[in-house]
């Protein structure tokens, strides 16, 4: 059988399982099994895969048909141009979070940090500014900040040892020399004490689903992604509130806390941040007009 024939079979099986973009997903799966990308399709379409590659493809289709998210099946996903390894130990990085990073970069520029262009060789300063990604999961936010900000050291923390193992693999895979993965621990606790009061930017995409909302999540999400990455507690805002409170001790003057939120949490989280004494508080709307990113600046 050729790759072309296998792709037709994969498309049919995925469509049969009710997977909407079956053709696109089949293409991703073929690319992963063959090791060739879309532009090289014509080179391999009429060739026969090795027995091992065919078996790998069939196993990926089986897992996807059984309901596993495509990203876990592929074992990787792209986030702001970075190829990240992902599996069931971490949340799948979302497009919403790519926007969180965009807002974070604007906040970083506002406070005097410089954006970098990946192709340009960077001069490492002796004491780079420190920024942090709290609840790093796969390391997506930390790695994007490292790639897109010049002259910073990015600290990443997570309570889950499993997630940190994935983050470490991604730091190695991206050859990210300025990302520091802290030991497993709760929010800011694993960060070195010397960083207290000096972080120029804190970014987080914490769990923000309420316990009573879990039943409304798509089965693909609730049944496969780690509960600890999704669910915060009875109200859904527990983690954001705690981060807002703790971040005040870790931010430098004039620095920003940037946090992904659910749209319905915007009003209460703005009020909470103001009550805590942040100097400026706002919510940024994503491209679809939904309030998705809380920004709280110190004075
Ligand atoms: C929504 S996921 C975000 C993962 C990643 N930053 C992203 O955007 O794709 C939330 C992460 O916070 C971590 N987390 C949950 N509770 C935590 C806590 N108390 N302290 C530190 N990290 C926590 C979870 O393990 C998970 O990796």
CA of 23 to the centre of ligand 1 (A): 32
Nearest to 174 by CA among 93, 114, 262, 239: 93
Is 218 exposed, middle or buried (CB count within 10 Å of its CB: 0-12, 13-18, 19+)?
exposed
In angstroms, what CA-CA distances link 20 with 11, 65, 99, 164?
10, 12, 25, 33
Average pLDDT over residues 244-268: 98
CA of 246 to the centre of ligand 1 (A): 15
Distance CA 144, CA 160 (A): 20
Could you write out the three-class secondary structure of 67-128?
A: CCCHHHHHCEEEECCEEEECCCCCCCCCHHHHHHHHHHHHHHHHCCCCECCCCCCCCCCCCC
Q: Whose CA is nearest to atom 13 of ligand 1?
A: 135
Is the CB of residue 233 below 6 angstroms from any atom belonging to ligand 1?
no
Average pLDDT over residues 89-99: 98
Q: Whose CA is nearest to atom 19 of ligand 1?
A: 186
Identify the band that residue 120 occupies on the pLDDT scale cut at 50, 70 and 90.
very low
Give me the long-range contacts of 287-290 (CB less than 8 A, separation at least 24).
287/99, 290/263
Average pLDDT over residues 239-252: 98
196 Cβ contact list (under 8 Å, min separation 6)? 249, 250
Is the CB of residue 136 below 6 angstroms from any atom belonging to ligand 1?
yes
pLDDT at res. 151: 87
Buried (b) or exposed (e) across 159-171, using 16+ Cβ within 10 A?
bbebbbebbebbb
101 Cβ contact list (under 8 Å, min separation 6)? 80, 141, 144, 145, 148, 203
Q: Whose CA is nearest to atom 27 of ligand 1?
A: 137
Mean of pLDDT over the chain: 95
The pick from 69, 137, 191 for probing ligand 1's pocket by mutation, whose C-beta has the most ligand atoms within 8 angstroms, reads 137
CA of 186 to the centre of ligand 1 (A): 10
Is the CB of residue 141 below 6 angstroms from any atom belonging to ligand 1?
yes
pLDDT at res. 123: 53
- For residue 67, count other CB atoms closer than 10 A to its CB: 13
pLDDT tens readout for residues 144-167: 999 999 989 999 999 999 999 999
Least confident span in 11-25, 111-125, 190-204 = 111-125
Q: Whose CA is nearest to atom 7 of ligand 1?
A: 93
Is the CB of residue 240 below 6 angstroms from any atom belonging to ligand 1?
no
The pick from 103, 207, 231, 237 for probing ligand 1's pocket by mutation, whose C-beta has the most ligand atoms within 8 angstroms, reads 207
Q: Decide if pLDDT at 137 tops 80.
A: yes
Least confident span in 71-80, 115-124, 238-247, 282-291 = 115-124
pLDDT at res. 90: 98
pLDDT at res. 119: 45
Is the CB of residue 143 below 6 angstroms from any atom belonging to ligand 1?
no
Is the CB of residue 204 below 6 angstroms from any atom belonging to ligand 1?
no
pLDDT at res. 128: 87
Q: β-strand 231-233 against 82-85: which pairing, if any?
A: unpaired
% of the chain at pLDDT higher than 70: 97
Least confident span in 2-11, 109-118, 243-252 = 109-118
pLDDT tens readout for residues 26-73: 999 999 999 998 899 999 999 999 999 999 999 999 999 999 999 999
- Detail the DSSP E strand segments found in the chain: 76-79, 82-85, 129-134, 152-157, 179-181, 199-204, 209-210, 231-233, 251-260, 280-285, 291-297
120 Cβ contact list (under 8 Å, min separation 6)? none
The residue count of the chain comes to 299
pLDDT at res. 109: 95
Cα Dmax for the chain: 66
pLDDT at res. 126: 60
Distance CA 237, CA 259 (A): 12
Average pLDDT over residues 14-36: 95
Q: Which DSSP string do the residues of 174-186 spell out, in sequence order? A: TT-TTEEEPPS-S
Nearest to 67 by CA among 235, 224, 250, 294: 224
pLDDT at res. 42: 92
The pick from 99, 158, 243, 293 for probing ligand 1's pocket by mutation, whose C-beta has the most ligand atoms within 8 angstroms, reads 158
Secondary structure letter of residue 190 according to DSSP:
T
Is the CB of residue 156 below 6 angstroms from any atom belonging to ligand 1?
no
């Amino acid at each position: 059988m050729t790759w072309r024939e296998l792709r037709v079979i994969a498309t049919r099986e995925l469509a049969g399982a009710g997977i909407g973009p079956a053709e696109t997903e089949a293409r991703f799966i073929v690319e992963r099994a063959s090791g060739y990308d879309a532009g090289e399709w014509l080179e391999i379409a009429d060739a026969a895969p090795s027995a091992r590659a065919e078996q790998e493809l069939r196993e990926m289709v089986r897992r996807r048909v059984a309901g596993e998210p495509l990203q876990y099946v592929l074992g990787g996903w792209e986030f702001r141009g970075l190829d990240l390894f992902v599996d069931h130990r971490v949340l799948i990085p979302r497009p919403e979070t790519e926007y969180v990073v965009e807002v974070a970069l604007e906040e970083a520029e506002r406070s005097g940090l410089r954006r970098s262009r990946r192709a340009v060789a960077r001069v490492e300063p002796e004491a780079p500014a420190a920024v942090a990604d709290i609840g790093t999961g796969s390391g997506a936010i930390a790695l994007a900040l490292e790639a897109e900000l010049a002259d910073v050291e990015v600290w990443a923390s997570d309570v889950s040892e499993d997630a940190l193992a994935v983050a470490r693999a991604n730091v190695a895979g991206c050859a990210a020399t300025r990302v520091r993965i802290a030991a497993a621990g709760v929010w800011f606790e694993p960060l070195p004490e010397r960083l207290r009061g000096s972080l120029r930017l804190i970014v987080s995409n914490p769990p923000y689903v309420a316990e009573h909302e879990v039943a409304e999540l798509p089965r693909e999400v609730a049944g496969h992604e780690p509960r600890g990455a999704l669910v915060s507690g009875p109200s859904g805002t527990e983690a954001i509130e705690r981060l807002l409170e703790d971040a005040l001790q870790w931010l430098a003057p004039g620095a920003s806390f940037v946090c992904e939120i659910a749209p319905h949490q915007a009003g209460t989280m703005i009020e909470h941040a103001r009550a805590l004494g942040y100097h400026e508080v706002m919510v940024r709307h994503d491209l679809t007009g939904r309030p998705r990113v809380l920004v709280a600046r110190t004075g």
